[in-house]
Chain A
Amino acid sequence: MFPTLNFPLTVFPNCHTVTCQLPDMLLQIDFKSGKPVYLQLVDQIRYAAASGGLRPGEPLPGIRPLAEELRVNRNTIAKAYTELESQGVIETIPGKGCFLKENHSPFTKPVRQKLLLKEVDEAVVTAHHLQVDREAFLALVKERLDYFERKIKEKP
């Protein structure tokens, strides 16, 4: 299974999901998650990049084959790739396709932290409603950081 970045609040019924198996990466779309499809793709590719499923210099699937495989509009895939490019995650080489970039965010450190703050706040709010206390929350964050680090190291 390929988890999304957010803590899942919803139970996803299988009939509304579309999956696509790519080398080393499984993309999955869920029309009922409430998140626009292109953002689901952005999150999952970012996840793959953070966990070593996709390494710098590796190509992303072409827009057309991916669109056909997932049965979504090509505009949606193109929009996801444009978003990833503007975030500095991937780069487009004309005539060759899209590739994962070395991890260099185009933003300054304060901006990067501010962007992260929003996500952290969301997690804190969710933790509050799920009655996960401070210690358990911090332990979970640490565990996940270790998990991602381990996953990247596992790759040759």
Chain B
Amino acid sequence: MNNESSVIEIQNLSRRYGKLDAVHSLSLTVRAGRCYGFFGRNGAGKTTTIKCLLNLLRPDSGTVRVFGLDPRKNEVDVKSRIAYVPDFVAFYPWMTVAGTLEYLASFRKHWNRDIESDLLKRFQLDPKQKASTLSKGQKTQLALIGAVCPEPELLLLDEPTSGLDPIVRREFIQTVIGAYQSGDTKRTVFVSTHLISEFEGLIDEFTIIEQGHELITMEADAARDRFKKIRVRFTQTPPKLTLAAALDIKQTGREVEILANGGSEAVLEQLRAYKLEDLTSESLSLEEIFVASNILATKK
């Protein structure tokens, strides 16, 4: 039996499309009440993983558990506790906005009408409008309303904000923040994206995958603490630096930029021994960590 508090548990998941290794031996655990980021480039295997969680794809090997259940054997139990916003949303074109929501609600045990009317107002969607005439952004908003109103325990978002304008993205993220953990039950969010910066404040923990392989799994705060960019300007031509903790060193004239993967304090201490004009240190954002981890992977 799985730990009660883990909502998603993936162990050694592999899935191939012919010769292509879409996901290779991926393991991750998402605890209840967390907002988990799943980052990767296009084609890294994010959607394949999510589809395995929903039993839209069968894993070739490995196990997938959602709420401790096997999505293949307990498909209805699992799906009734999940809401999913896919990267590409499609509705029946002849239905109106209100009709679509009515249709979605008919599959759910619970549907919060107050949230529905609040969000329709917030997004300025006309309930009488036909789904076929909605813009891409409006379709995503409609899908989000459909996902939030049943107040699911787990919200799965697959590239939800790609192709949306900045204002719609911002509203989308605020709605996700507002929607989860509002009741007594702990709600969990699992979001896959390559547009990382806008989810920065939301993410508790994340996994980065590349070509089906896991690169890093870390707590967001710990990651920002570990990856630092140090800029230093020497008064004279800089000495040859040998820094154990440096991931990357760039030098232009008297200025040096150091990318540290942990141990930044030691690097700073080492640098302070020289005559310096300027010394700054800042954390990498999650997006920069994502880029750095891909550099790291190609170097190997």
Contacts and interface: CB of A to CB of B under 8 A. Distances in A.
A4 to B, nearest CB: 14
Contacts of A10: 280-282
Interface string A3-23: 000000111000010100000
A156 interface: no
A29 B201 contact: yes
A36 B272 CA distance: 25
Nearest to B35: A73
B285 A31 contact: yes
B200 interface: yes
A70 B201 contact: yes
Main SS class of interface, B: mixed
Given A11-B280, A18-B201, A34-B224, A73 B285 contact: no
A70 B174 CA distance: 9
B284 A32 contact: yes
A71 B286 CA distance: 15
A33 interface: yes
B257 interface: no
A74 B282 contact: no
A34 B182 contact: no
Nearest to A67: B177
A71 B282 contact: no
Interface in B189-234: 198, 200-204, 221, 224-225, 228
A153 interface: no
Given A31-B224, A37-B221, A71 B202 contact: yes
Nearest to A75: B204
Nearest to B219: A36
A71 B170 contact: yes
B181 interface: yes
Interface residues of B, number: 30
Nearest to A78: B181
Contacts of A11: 280
B12 interface: no
Given A18-B201, A68-B177, A68-B178, A32 B272 contact: no
A29 B228 CA distance: 18
Most chain B CB within a 10 A radius of its CB, from A18, A70, A72: A72
B272 A129 contact: yes
A11 to B, nearest CB: 6
B294 interface: no
Interface string A57-87: 0000000100110111111100000000000
A42 B142 CA distance: 37
Interface string B165-188: 000001001100110111000000
A71 B173 contact: yes
A19 B173 CA distance: 16
Going nearest first, the 4 A-B pairs with the smallest beta carbon separation are A72-B201, A34-B283, A68-B174, A36-B221
Interface of B: 33-35, 170, 173-174, 177-178, 180-182, 198, 200-204, 221, 224-225, 228, 272, 279-286
22 contacts: A9-B281, A31-B201, A31-B286, A32-B282, A34-B224, A34-B282, A37-B201, A37-B221, A67-B178, A68-B177, A68-B178, A71-B170, A71-B177, A72-B201, A72-B202, A73-B35, A73-B177, A73-B202, A74-B180, A75-B34, A75-B204, A129-B272
